[in-house]
Amino acid sequence: MEFFERFAIPHPSAPIYASMVAIGLTVIAIVAGLTYFKKWGYLWREWLTTVDHKRIGIMYLISALLMLFRGGVDAIMMRSQTAIPENTLLDAQHYNEVFTTHGIVMIIFMAMPFIYALMNFVVPLQIGARDVAFPRLNALSFWLFFMGAMLFNISFVIGGSPDAGWTAYFPLAGNEFSTSVGTNYYALALQIAGLGTLMSGINFIVTILKMRAPGITLMKMPMFTWSALTANVIVVFAFPVLTVALIMMTMDRLFGTHFFATTNGGMDMLWANLFWVWGHPEVYILILPAFGVYSEVISTFARRNLYGYKSMVASMVGISFLSFLVWTHHFFTMGQGALTNSIFSVTTMAIAIPTGIKIFNWLFTMWKGKIEFTVPMLYAVGFIPIFTIGGVTGVMLAMASADYQYHNTMFLVAHFHYTIIPGVVFAMIAGLTYWWPKMFGFMLNERIGKWAFWFIAISFNVTFFPMFFTGLDGQARRMYTYSEATGFGPLNMLSFIGALGLAVGFALIAYNVYYSTRYASRNISADPWDARTLEWATQSPVPAYNFAITPQANSSEAFWDAKKKGHELFKGEVQKIHMPSNSGVPFIMSCIFFIWGFSFVFSLWIPAILATIGIFICMAQRSFERDPGYYISVKEIKETESKLRGA
């Protein structure tokens, strides 16, 4: 009995029990459904073992949408609790768990897979490649991310959620003050997902540097690919810091070391530094691919080439460099003194300059254009003013003396939502809508999409704009309640109403997916938006081999040139195509990683050791396996092509 006690949740409540039941029922339903429809084989062959970047992209996408839902429910719970003073919907402990989970889910398990969904799907197509450089590693990246996410998500029903904030500052996150296993979940789940991300980083850098089709020099890459390159370079430099910091955290919590725990010479400030040395670059990992999406979308729907290509590239490179020089701005108030603060104030403000260049370049891309307000374009156009507010408030926060007043308040919360939501979430919806026909061979309904956009754009401002004011009025962040006398009530109520509006907006997007899947015409061209880059030169949906003939590029808009200037994209004859074969090992290995993580969370040493051995066996298997891949014959390619073209 004692053994099982550790799995109980320390602070149970009715909604948690209800969730347990719901999770149980869902799992049963899925298993039963798969068995009844005899889909196990299909699932295994086509998805669990796939190494195709497009399918992996789609799996990232589904995971991201699920996590968006989870994080969104958390958000609604928080805004409901704070909608009125002295509310008792959630108690303090529960509220702490909810905002901690919300932060991690949204950043690590929603935004990250979303950008990797688009990068996976689009980057190889934009550079005319057959797949990423290491397809099987790519599958492993996805499954590690997925298992990390699952491990994190079971925390609230087995053992308890983390509750020390997504920043998990020590000593609060140490054993002394966080006694439940929640923070172990944090350390292990982020570790597993982070390993996957690091592998993706390497994979995409190699892919972009090594696998470009003829003619695509670095300065002729589409802007989204450039953004993916810079983001992945940041990943490779930043994520090892997280890996090490999490190992140290795990050691502190499980093996009694004192890296961060403040007794016996541990340093709480070391954690804060390591966390933000990763954490600040992380926010730029998220924003750069979003910038890439906007560059594609704005240029497509303004019907013009991107203005200032070179300065766009230079500014991204500049941002990725600067993003490593600013981390201290997250704790100006830690007492490092005026000189240090001033240095980091200046470096932080400096980031606004390349960011500003990009904004102006997008504006000038619309100049003399012929702007069409499709759904992706609406998000891009909505992004510009909203993100500008996020950026300028960032500059305000960067002034250390003033940050003493903004820090830890709702003002800060408003700032980062004004950057992340238009920056990342809008961009991902825009990219999703834009590339949807390439992914699935039909378009999302424009009318529902526009309704969703207006709901989201307006509700977003209703939700977050008031926070600038409550922050300046002294409302600290992460407060589960406040008294009526503070006067925060009305504006928090407004935020709550906005949050409901956002929920409606996202529900409309979900409905749009359902509606369009059922009713949208499958009879669309491969290039429904009249776009400019190479991914639109192949069929929709994209065949497994991407391009029957490797395209030849002459500019960053080779497809546009092919349409308008007679550039010849596909020269030569169809030849047989070499493809990597599927493998179940990445999935199996990641399952073992899940067990490994779970065992560590609960200090179950025997399974942990066995799982470690299992992981090494999987690695050995890969080392000794001979996998020559397979060929798709010319005949088969021709058949596929004519079928898709005829459709």
Partner 1 sequence: MKWNWAILSSIFTIITVLTGCNNKLMVLDPKGPQAQTQADVIMISIWTMSIIVAAVFILLVIMLVKYRASKQPADYEPPHIEGSKLVESICIGIPVIIVIFLSVITIQSNEQVETTPKGYEGQKPLVVYASSSDWKWHFSYPEENIETVNYLYIPTDRPLEFKLYSYGPITSFWIPQLGGQKYAMSDMVNTLHLAADVPGEYMGRNANFSGKGFAENTFDVKAMPQDEFEKWVEEVKATAKPLTQEKFDELLDPGHLGRLTYTGTHLDFSPAPEGENGEHHMMPSHTEHSAMAE
- Partner touching 419 among partner 1, Cu ion, ligand HEM, none, CB below 5 to 8 Å by kind: ligand HEM
Q: What is the DSSP string of 497-564?
A: HHHHHHHHHHHHHHHHHHHHHHHS-S---S-TT---SGGGGS-SSPPTTS-SS----SSTTHHHHHHH
Cα(193)–Cα(187) distance, integer angstroms = 10
Q: Is the dihedral of CA 410, 416, 420, 422 positive or negative?
A: positive
Per CB under 6 A, 438 contacts ligand HEM: no
Contacts of ligand HEM in 149-168 (CB under 6 A): 167
Contact flags string 262-301 toward Cu ion, x per CB under 5 A: ------------------x---------------------
Smaller CB separation from partner 1, 178 or 200: 178
For residue 36, the cross-strand partners are: none
Per CB under 6 A, 397 contacts ligand HEM: yes
Per CB under 6 A, 169 contacts ligand HEM: no
Give φ, ψ of 409 to 5 degrees: -115, 175
Centre a 10 Å sphere on the Cβ of residue 157 and count the other Cβ atoms it contains: 19
Going by C-alpha positions, the residue among 535, 526, 576, 539 that lies closest to residue 553 is: 535
- Partner touching 256 among ligand HEM, partner 1, Cu ion, none, CB below 5 to 8 Å by kind: none
Q: For residue 578, what is the enclosing H or E element?
A: strand 577-579
Going by C-alpha positions, the residue among 129, 126, 42 that lies closest to residue 579 is: 129
Per CB under 6 A, 231 contacts ligand HEM: no
For residue 579, the cross-strand partners are: 630
Per CB under 6 A, 422 contacts ligand HEM: no
Per CB under 6 A, 347 contacts ligand HEM: no
Taking the complex as a whole, how short is the minimal distance between the CB of residue 272 and Cu ion, in angstroms?
12
- Partner touching 62 among partner 1, Cu ion, ligand HEM, none, CB below 5 to 8 Å by kind: none
* Residue labelled with tokens 């074969």: 581
Taking the complex as a whole, how short is the minimal distance between the CB of residue 330 and ligand HEM, in angstroms?
5
Smaller CB separation from ligand HEM, 403 or 535: 403
Q: Do residues 475 and 414 make contact, with C-beta atoms less than 8 angstroms apart?
A: no
Tokens of 117: 């969904």
Determine which residue in the list 112, 181, 287, 430 makes contact with ligand HEM, applying CB under 6 A: 287
- Partner touching 253 among ligand HEM, partner 1, Cu ion, none, CB below 5 to 8 Å by kind: none
Terminal-to-terminal C-alpha distance of the chain: 62
Determine which residue in the list 394, 471, 489, 614 makes contact with ligand HEM, applying CB under 6 A: 394
Reduced to 3 states, what is the DSSP secondary structure of residue 70? helix
Q: Do residues 295 and 369 make contact, with C-beta atoms less than 8 angstroms apart?
A: no
- Partner touching 245 among ligand HEM, Cu ion, partner 1, none, CB below 5 to 8 Å by kind: none
- Partner touching 416 among partner 1, ligand HEM, Cu ion, none, CB below 5 to 8 Å by kind: ligand HEM
Q: Do residues 369 and 294 make contact, with C-beta atoms less than 8 angstroms apart?
A: no
Determine which residue in the list 391, 466, 489, 597 makes contact with ligand HEM, applying CB under 6 A: 391
Per CB under 6 A, 227 contacts ligand HEM: no
Give the footprint of Cu ion on this chain (CB under 5 A).
Answer: 280
Give the footprint of ligand HEM on this chain (CB under 6 A).
Answer: 167, 283, 286-287, 329-330, 348, 351-352, 355, 391, 394-395, 397-398, 403, 406-407, 412, 415-416, 419-420, 423-424
